[in-house]
Amino acid sequence: EVQLVESGGGLVQPGASLKLSCVASGFTFSDYWMSWVRQTPGKTMEWIGDIKYDGSYTNYAPSLKNRFTISRDNAKSTLYLQMSNVRSEDTATYYCTRDDSGFDYWGQGVMVTVSS
Amino acid sequence: DVVLTQTPSILSATIGQSVSISCRSSQSLLDSDGNTYLYWFLQRPGQSPQRLIYLVSNLGSGVPNRFSGSGSGTDFTLKISGVEAEDLGVYYCMQATHAPDTFGAGTKLELK
């Protein structure tokens, strides 16, 4: 059974950094592109970016490219999202997704709240 | 960025009724490779989104065949032939033809 489990969220102050993790199981992690998607409290969905199966290539939403970094450790079947200089508008639920003909599997999501 | 406009924003239906959701794109979603990267997702209350349809009309694994997708270019439709209680939630279309991937604002399906 495919499982994606995110962690690392919580309450963070504006300007701080935060690193989210997503542990994958039930499939060969190193065979798949992976993506991060976030959903705001108002339910707007936003694609953050993705990473190639071997970690050699990443794409980002232009508005987030300078502050967010996606990486992966295939030996640990883990996807990461490094968030820096966070802002109140980064408050959202963050989902890890497997990218196979669209986002065929999603994690349960992890909440990030940016507030002082 | 490509804007996807979903209509209606709220859809009220009775069990067994057939309904359709429209997703219109600000640009053609036909890619130069011949594929159209248009997807449909359902997010049930309190759950993560799940993929229903990929590449316009292909049913995702385990998705009931009462769901169907159609369309081309800029106009796409998701149809549910006989709504069941488990179909309630918010439906999103998404495109991945033009970077960055973008989502529609969602259509909430509720019981009438």
Residue-wise pLDDT for A20-43, tens only, equals: 999 999 999 999 999 999 999 999
Mean pLDDT computed over A84-106: 96
- Tell me the C-alpha distance between A56 and A54, whole Å: 5
Q: Which of B84, B91, B81 is nearest to B111 (CA)?
A: B84
**Interface contact B94, partner A, CB < 8 A:** yes
Please list the pLDDT of chain B residue by residue as tens digits (112 residues).
Answer: 999 999 999 999 999 999 999 999 999 999 999 999 999 999 999 999 999 999 999 999 999 999 999 999 999 999 999 999 999 999 999 999 999 999 999 999 998 8
What is the chain A residue with the closest CA to B62?
A104
Residue A65 has pLDDT above 90, yes or no: no
What is the chain B residue with the closest CA to A45?
B103
A contact residues 13-72, partner B, Cβ 8 Å cutoff: 35, 43-47, 59-62
